[in-house]
Structure 1
Amino acid sequence: MFSGIRRWGRFIKFEHTVFAMVGARTAAMAFNRLADWSIDQKNPRTAVRSTLVSKTTAYGTMAGGVLALVGGAWILNPLCLILSPIAVGIVFFYSLTKRFTWGSHGFLGLALGTAPVGAWLAVRGQFDSWVPIVLGTAVGLWVAGFDLIYALQDREFDREHGLKSFPAKFGEAAALRMA
């Protein structure tokens, strides 16, 4: 009986971890949609995005995502709750970086690289190993690399509209080498 209770407790922790992480992703995607609303309308690749939802829906989705992240963190442990505003700040900040740095791909890597660290803290409740840092770094570099490749399709648009991206500044060959 106690073994079953322990397993159920682990499932509940897993469930709340996923809840918080999906909340973070949802909030980040909605914030990105809002931050890039006018940019996306001008870009032929993303022009349809602004017709799929209203700004009101995007704001509500963002708020719901933040509540899910903070609520999940609150249930998990005090450290996750304390760090949840930092997580929100990181995932929101990425959306603004293309306005002032060609290193925005690295910020996306940072944002997604926090996921393994957050999952570790959700389960362990403390920093007690370098493992989550190594995993987070690996995820961050992987994401930054594929985002460099993904950004190639917007290279000319970014140049024309004054947006910063590594491919727009350094070109396709350099972006592929960096990726």
Structure 2
Amino acid sequence: MRRPDKIIADASKQNWVDLYAPVAIQPYLKLSRIDRPIGTWLLLFPGLWSIALAAPVGEIPDLQLFILFGIGALVMRGAGCTLNDIADRDFDGQVERTRKRPLPSGQVTLMQAYLWLALQCFVGLLILIQFNLFAIFLGAASLILVAIYPFAKRFTYWPQFFLGLAFNYGALLGWAAVTGNLGSAPIIMYVGGIAWTLGYDTIYAHQDKEDDVLIGIKSTALKFGQNTKIWLMGFYAITVLALLASGYIVGLTAPFYTFMAGAAVHLIWQIRSLDIDDGDLCLLLFKSNKFFGTLVLIGIIGGKFVVPF
């Protein structure tokens, strides 16, 4: 049953959770941000990129790994968001965009949120143990980053950096799940992914900057202010160069560079279009990163199939 008064500010008015999900489970799905799926895509893409990057020449990526990473991204993004809402429950009620979230609005209790967090982590563990031993240990180490991020905004103007460390860990884990080791290509991709997150989440953070000042939390949006576009040019340049380098290392061919050119144009469009004082536009540009991720993925897969220059 749809309840317009319960729809969270940055969720689509047509999101399926509010339209179709049983009322009893809607608060839990919203704790996991399933009504706002863009975050799941942004977490998933680096893993898919890396799986595709590690695939043998002339072969499509491992579809079973794609499915496992998809489920893992859904539940671990949900777990991270639940932990974030637990940590921010006192702040969220003071911010217009977040005051309808399940905890500050009283739709779930703190104990219920902790139980939901535990369930999601358990499902994530079931996914992780499907991988090789090296990937299991590597994936388990990411929990440290997941635990740090929700508290980073309290002590640094760079919480987006900590988000980047966590959200792009799939660039390492995807390669490890395919090969059982790490190499320079996934590490460079990881660096590029961190820069990508610094860019898109700075754009996202501009929606909340006035509230953040009032309640005393930090972000790159506040740190960069009117210089945001200059910083974005730097972050997105690192992103593109790092992805190009990782593709070059593994010998990707012409389609990769063609699609990367399109992806770079998309990032330029984001910077040129940005108005840091237009919250709706910031949200639109943030969500548009799904197209960037898709272009990169198609380029990597295509780059495994065509004869080199």
TM-score range, shorter chain: 0.7 to 0.9
Task: Determine if contact 1:117/1:136 at 8 Å carries over to the other structure.
Answer: yes
Shift of the 134–100 alpha-carbon distance from structure 1 to 2, 3 Å rule, reads same
Runs of 4+ residues deviating >6 angstroms: none
Residue matched to 1:90 = 145
Q: Which residue of 2 aligns with 1:158?
A: 212
C-alpha contact 2:79 2:121 (8 A) present in aligned 1: yes
- The 8 Å contact of residues 224 and 231 in structure 2, kept in 1 or not, is answered as no
Unpaired runs of 5+ in structure 2?
1-58, 233-309
Question: Residue deviations 1:80-126, cap 9 Å, x none?
Answer: 22223321221221111000000111111111121221111122221
The reply to whether residue 176 of structure 1 matches residue 229 of structure 2 is: yes
Residue aligning to 1:139: 193
Give CA-to-partner distance per residue, 1:68-89, whole Å, 9 cap, x none.
2222121211122222332122
Q: Name the count of aligned residue pairs.
A: 169
Match of 1:121 among 146, 162, 176: 176
> What is the alpha-carbon distance in structure 1 between the residues aligned to residue 74 and residue 132 of structure 2?
17
User: How far 1:53 sits from its partner (Å)?
Assistant: 4.4
Match of 1:47 in 2: 99
* 1:42-90 superposed Cα distances (whole Å, 9 cap, x missing partner): 1111101133741334222321222122221212111222223321221
Whose Rg is larger? 2
Give TM-score scaled by structure 2 length: 0.50
| TM-superposed deviation, 1:22 | 2.6
Q: Which has the higher helix share?
A: 1
Distance 1:174 1:52, change over 3 A: farther
Q: What's the counterpart of residue 4 of structure 1?
A: none
C-alpha change, 1:131 and 1:47, in structure 2 (3 Å) is: same
The 5-angstrom pairing of residues 15-30 of structure 1 reads: 15-30=67-82
Contact 2:164 2:198 in 1 (8 A): yes
Where 2:124 maps in the other structure, the secondary structure is helix
The percent of aligned pairs where both chains have the same amino acid is: 27
Deviates more, 1:97-106 or 1:67-76: 67-76
Do the aligned partners of residues 53 and 142 (structure 1) sit closer, same or farther apart at CA in structure 2, a change above 3 Å counting?
Answer: farther
1:108 aligns with 2:163: yes
TM-score, length-scaled by structure 1: 0.83
Partner amino acid, structure 2, of 1:151: A
Unaligned runs of 5+ in 1: 1-6
Deviation at 1:138, TM superposition (A): 1.8
Task: Give the Å deviation of 1:21.
Answer: 2.9
SS of 1:76's equivalent in the other structure is: coil
- Report the secondary structure of 1:61's partner residue: helix
Pick closer, same or farther for the CA change 1:135–1:53 going to 2, 3 Å. farther
